[in-house]
Amino acid sequence: MTHNFPVHVYYEDTDLAGIVYYANYLKFIERARTEWVRGLGIDQSRLKEDEGIVFAVRHLEADYLSPARFDDELTVETTMTSMTGVRIVLQQEVKRAGDLLFAASVTLVALNEAGLPARLPANIRQNLH
C-alpha cells in the first residue's frame, strides 16, 4: 500500500537558481515517513516512552532526476518494500503531476536507548503489515 503526502515548495526550499535545494528532498521524505508511521497508528513518542525504541535511518540511496521549483505542488509516495524484526526498507518517490523528480530507497532500523538494534514489538510489526 502506498502512502501519499503533499508538499508545497516554498521560496525557502529553493537555491539561488530557483530550484529545490538537494538536501530539502531529504526533509520532504522524512516528513512523509513520519506521516506514514502516524497513519499506521504508531505513536513514535509513546514507542520511545513505553518501549525505549526509536527509528533511525541506517542507509539511504537517492536519485535526483529532475528539479522541482518554487511554488510546485509535489507528492511524496512512500511504499514499504520489506521488513524484518529490526529493519524496514521503504521506497520513496517525489513526484510533480505524476512525473518522477526524486527517488530514494531508505532503510530504517529500530534502536534501543543505548543506540543498539532492537526488535520491534509484535503489535508494531502487525501495524506495519
Q: Provide the CATH topology of domain 2-128.
A: Thiol Ester Dehydrase; Chain A (3.10.129)
Q: Which residues pair with 90 in a beta bridge?
A: 80, 106
* Residue 120, SS3 per DSSP: coil
Q: Quick check: is 15 catalytic? A: yes
Q: What is the pLDDT of residue 125?
A: 83
Per-residue pLDDT of the chain (129 residues; tens, 9 = 90+): 899 999 999 999 999 999 999 999 999 999 999 999 999 999 999 999 999 999 999 999 999 999 999 999 999 999 999 999 999 999 999 999 999 999 999 999 999 999 999 998 888 888 777
What are the angstrom distances between the C-alpha of 22 and each of 25, 35, 46, 80?
Answer: 6, 21, 32, 23
Q: What is the pLDDT of residue 119?
A: 93
Written as nine digits, the cell of 60 is: 539511504
- Entry pTM: 0.92
Nearest Cα neighbor of 52 from 107, 118, 127 is 118
Q: Which of 15, 50, 63, 99 is catalytic?
A: 15
